[in-house]
Amino acid sequence: MAPAAHHFCARMSALADLLACARTACRAAHVEGHVMRRIELVLEELFTNTVRHGYGGDCEASVWLQTNQTGAGLCITYEDAAPAYNPLTHEVDLDHSASNHPPGGLGVHLARCLADEIAYRRDEGRNVVTLCFRTSP
């Protein structure tokens, strides 16, 4: 299956469309419900962080999503043109209780835990995060 690319405005109101796009790709790749929920959680976190922190709020900037069915599952490439930020270089301190935890970092930790593979690169002014989710043992 050829990769499908999609464009979204960096507005929180576009999150539902981005997630619907991901669900469509999941169904086409025969991704099971529990894996689909993991994908949705990770994409929601990435998109929210991009809009709120990368772009500083709702704006007309872009977010791109590309899905690619592989032999082992589904890989998703998530891109934005926000200032460079490698989420994989930031460790989160999990020693605090949730109520005492300083803001930030937990979403990135969640993404790392839920994706089977995650990689970051900066390419032509874009943050590019590639996430792979296995759908077969």
- Give the residue numbers spanning the domain of 90: 4-134
d(CA 59, CA 71): 37
d(CA 105, CA 108): 5
pLDDT value of residue 101: 43
Q: 131: Cβ–Cβ under 8 A, 6 or more apart, which residues?
A: 39, 42, 75, 76, 77, 78, 111, 115, 117, 118
d(CA 35, CA 114): 9
The number of folded domains in the chain is 1
Work out whether strand 4-9 and strand 62-69 pair parallel, antiparallel, or are unpaired. Answer: antiparallel
d(CA 34, CA 119): 22
Kindly report the CATH number assigned to the domain that includes residue 23: 3.30.565.10
pLDDT value of residue 71: 86
Q: Would you say 81 and 61 are in contact if contact means Cβ atoms under 8 Å apart?
A: yes
Task: Kindly give the confidence (pLDDT) of every residue in the chain, 137 residues in length, as a single tens digit, with 9 standing for 90 and above.
Answer: 456 689 999 999 999 999 999 999 999 999 999 999 999 999 999 999 999 999 999 999 999 999 999 888 999 999 999 999 998 887 665 555 555 544 556 677 788 889 999 999 999 999 999 999 998 76
Q: Against a cut of 0.95, is the pTM above it?
A: no
pLDDT value of residue 104: 53
Q: Would you say 54 and 127 are in contact if contact means Cβ atoms under 8 Å apart?
A: yes
d(CA 2, CA 52): 31
Q: How many CB atoms lie within 10 A of CB 1?
A: 11
